[in-house]
Structures are given as structure tokens and as C-alpha cells.
Structure 1
């Protein structure tokens, strides 16, 4: 039995105990308010049974419901909100419904109601905590429902104390309680209706999903994002553009992103990612430079700087040219991998180098990102970049290269 089922079962036992206490007090005192409280606790038992059934049914799968029966929990939460509204009505009816018979054994009734308040308060806190831990909307709704029972017991306690000392203050306390009840019921009702109508996830969750995706330099754009709740679970659908043309590598990246999102966001049942290569009009080519900043460095991770040029593919024009200092030059471990990841963040598409990177950390980084590594015997960086453009079948503009 999982946590949600155990908590729902404990809710039933707790309300049975409260029914027994309130029934005994009603017989001993003759109080109509306590009788109403006992009837109210019976309605709570019905609510808890519905919640337990909703949790059990929501776990079942069916070919007719390929996305699961998770929304049954939201239907249950919606029902609980209506029960909370009804609880407010009951409180008003019992308080303003007319005169009550002379009560007896008021000290016993006061002790009994205080015990009921403590039991209800303690269990509502426990149930709310478990509901938030498991993300169960029905447990959260029931915990709030139990909290309204605590407030209604406070109204009864005020009525008892007022009767004992000769002051009728129960009517004013009831108005405050009904306001709390209406506010709680409306929040649960609105939340349930939003899920049942497939409203989007909250903005903080959507923004966190965007942050996880865009943190990967292999993703060029988020075209569309759809996400919704169903019970405690979330469904996410993404349309992404990758800086990768190889379909196998694109599939691997989509699986990696899905795993990362599930790690960051709780209770995600399913993630569907549609991906496509980003339409390429430009290409960024880079090469490691030696200390003179003119020749190609024999080393990759230990190169003091890198030259990156962005080329317009249609006519071969260089649109951007950057000389970037290696920020990891002083690192002791993992220097090559960190440099490779840094170059990906700068949108590197092709690396021109003196030595191959296969079997090394940078090679794995470039390989998974679809970065092509071209080997050259040319020493001068500018000449090597021109040769790379020819090898990549990029036109050489008339009049030669732009000299910035």
C-alpha cells in the first residue's frame, strides 16, 4: 500500500474516532451543534472513502484511456470542495437555525470538543504534508476539509463556553469560520476545474523546463511547449530545434533532455519531444591559436585562445570574427572537456585542428553535439580556415576574405 492509500485509510479511521466522540458527547449533553458535528464527521468518512477509491482507480490503466485515469483524483478533489461548501452551510444552519434545548454536562462537552480539535488539527497537518510530498490533489483537498472541521469545532467550543458564562458569541465566530470555509473550497474548486479543463502548468514549472532545455548548447530553439496536470502527474510535450543534423544523435539528445527534466521536475508521467535540425544559414568555424595568435596551436585544451569565424553559407561572407581567450587555461583536470563545452556554448559547428580528438574527452563532447573536426597540416590559422571553407564547399567571396 503506497503513501497516498495509507494516508486516505488513516483519514477514515480518524473520522470514525471523531464520530464516536461526537456521538457520545451529543447523547450526554443533548447539544444540537454536537449532533451536527457528528453528522458532519460522517460526511467526512464518505469523502475519505471516495478519495481512497479515487486513488486506487487512478492507478489503473485501460486501452480506452491511454493517458491514464489520473484525473479521477481531480474529480474527487472537486467533490471534496463541494463537501466543504456544504460544511459551511451546515455550520450556518446549526448556528442560526433557531433555539437549542438546555445543554447538560458542559465541562465534559468542552473537554470532548478540545480533544476533537487536537485530533483533527494533528491529522490535517499530517495529511497535508503527505499530500504535498506525493503531489496528490485529493489528499490536499481532504486535509483542507479536515481543517474546516477544526474550525467548526472551534465554533462549537465557543458556543459551549458562551452558554456557560451567559454570552452568545457563536454567531460572530460562525461568520469568520464560514469565510475560511468559502476561501478554502473556492481554491480547491478552481484548481480542480483548471486541471479538468487541461489548463497549462504553472509558470514557475514551465520556466524551469525552459531553463533545463536551453542550458544545453545543442538546443538552438524551443518552438513550442505544452504541459498540463492530470491528478498528481504532469504531461509535457515539446517542439525543439537542435544544432544536430544526425537523427541518431538527435534522438539521443531528446532522451537525455527528457531524463534531465524528470530529474528536475517531480511527478512527470510522460515527456514527448518533437525535434528537427535547425535551418542553417550560417556556420561557425573555429581553431585553437598559439601564443602568437597567428598559428594553430598543437594542443587543444592548453591553447591560450581560439579564433572563431561565422560564415554566411550562401556566399561565404564572414559575418562575425572573434578572438576568445581560453577561460580554462589554468584548470588542472578536465581542461579539454570544459573547453569543448565552452566552444559549444559559442555555437561552434566545425573545429580545425592539428591533432585528432577521437577517443578523448573533447572528441566525445563534439561527437554527441554533431561538431565536425577537420584535420589540417597548415600552420597559419587564416590559411587553414580558408582551406576548411573549401573542404566544406562554402563559396569563397570575390575579392578574397574579409579582413576585419
Structure 2
């Protein structure tokens, strides 16, 4: 397979990985779905509209149809074949006395000056969010022409990566340490670009602020930011004001799940590990409500099946203790998390918190911006899962950002940014 030539400067030794689960596990999943009881009809679940924060949650009819499709028609083997159509690896990374085994998908370029890029997912996402983007790049460039080394890790606790230590706390700073060690160990210690949304946006910010190897960062979500004296609410456009209203609505009516994750991760993790139907309801709602447009059912079930087969749900909740627990922090309002390196931002009007450009400028050195759904002739705004929902747009933004920003990085680094 092409795209598998690591840099000669790599010090890590990744092992090829093939996604495959035994037939018995798929049989057990279908049996568990078969014997999972669907709750009775209620006024709330018969009238529920998951696209609306005021809509009571998940509609019973959708859940019943999704359950039947998952049990009788869905084929995980097709998804495994798609995963295995790209180079997959696992690699051991030591961090503070604990050994992580990190899974990642990669397209390694043979181009001498290819720019290293790490794409970071969030919850309830996974590396699957970026498969379409990787396939677009693979179809557009040969290994000899690819302008980037693209690394897509499964964050610790997610998918095929093992979970964080069982005997101590772990947080987003820890994720960033592991990701940086991965990128440096793959031979990209002189410089790489980080991109992230959701949890990945926090990890990308930490990488930019705290790790020398990260030279630039692109985000498609920035939260926890409000008006400033020089950028008051009144200065916003009508479209931006609608985005702020959406963020406020989500904060008031849409983030109960996050409070549960942050304050009762043990309980919700055990509950959702007990039944694939419960997992489908809890996570399926998020894909329907947070995206624009909503993904096809097959893509939602891809994510749910990966979560179920790898026991991801209970292992992936730890970041919420940091976001929504007793000592919650979002990394943005504090001056210590200001990004001094070049930063890019893609604004999507159907994101959970579409933060105006002017407010994002207060969190970092914003040198590149694209906005969608701002009423200025752009294509309609997307939602929370940008790479999954609109992979062509995502790839275009990444290429546009790197194309403009990497020469600036190389100039500021005195040539050190050139690989």
C-alpha cells in the first residue's frame, strides 16, 4: 500500500494494524439489540424533534427504525474494509510511567517538503470522522505529490487506542502530551500543524500553547468566549447574533448530557455500557441534533458500532470532568491559553456555539478565517462534525489554511519549518 513510507527521522516504530472483530462479537451485538426493550410510547417521545433543543430529545420512531436496521441490515464488515483501505497503525508511547498503545490512520507523503498535519476528533466522534477527508486527499494526490503527512490518531480511550491509567487522573493536557510525542516520534519534531474540533479543539490549543513542535493550529470550534470592551455584542452582524443566540440556547437547553458526563461519568458510563440500544439513543441523538445536515443512518451506526465493539463510551468521558466538573475550565478566557502562533478558524453557523470571528481573535493570533452561513453569499453553514458532514469543504479549508500559513511559519522559524 502506498502512503506508508515514514520519515527517516522517525524514532517510533509503528506496527501495521488491521481492523477486524470476531464473528462472535458481531453476533453478540445483534443478540443484545434483539433483546433490548424499546421504551413505551409517551407524549414526549412521540412528539420529540432531536433537531430542536426544545424538542424533548429523541423520537421513538427514529429509535425503533434505527434499532431494526442495526440489528437486521447493517454490515460492519463493509466499514472495516473501508478502514483497512487506508494505512492503519498502532504504536506504544510512554507518558509519566504509563504505556499507551495509540492507534492512528496516516497518509505519509514522499514529498520532501510535505507539511505534517494531525487531525484531532472529539466526543462522540472518532477517527472515522476523517475517513472521507483522507479518501479525498488520496484520490487527489499520489504519495509522491501529497503536500502533507496526515496523521489521524484515536485519542486515548477512544476506538482502538487503549484508555488512560486506572489509578490516576488524566486530562486534555495529558492527551496533548501523547499527541505531541506521537508527532515528534514520527519524525515531525521540527514542526507540525494541529487541527481540531470539539475535544480536539482544546487539545489543539494546548499543543499550540505548550508544545514547541506545534507551529500552527486550525480550529472549527471555539467555545467559552464572550464579548469584550472593544468587541461588544452590539457590534456583531445579525447572522453572528443568531449564532450567539444558538450558543446560549445550547448552553441552557442542550448540554445536560455534558453535565452528566462531567459530574457522574462513572454512572453514565456503566449505564450506556449495558445496552447497545441505550448507547444508540444517547449518542444517536447527538449526531442528529448537532450536525447540518444530519449524517446518513449508516454513518451514525458506523460510529455506534465502533464505540460498542471497543467499549469506547465509558473510556472516553474523562475530558468532561475538566469541562463540566467541579473545576471546569475551557482554556479560552484565561490569558495563559492565548495562542501566539498562527491560528485559523472555520466558522459554521450550525455549530453548537458559533463564536464570532471578533471574539475568537481575543483567544489567539487569528491570521486565517472562513465563515459559512453568515449571509454573505457563502454556502450554508455546517454543524458540529465539519469533516464528517462536509468533507470537501473541510479539505478545502485545511489546504487553504496550510497554503497561506505554512510559508509564514517557515519564515518565522528561519527555515526550520521546512521538513
**TM beyond 0.5:** no
If asked which structure has higher relative contact order (CA below 8 Å, sep 6+), I would say 2
- Taking structure 1 as the reference length, what is the TM-score of the superposition? 0.21
Q: Which has the higher helix share?
A: 1
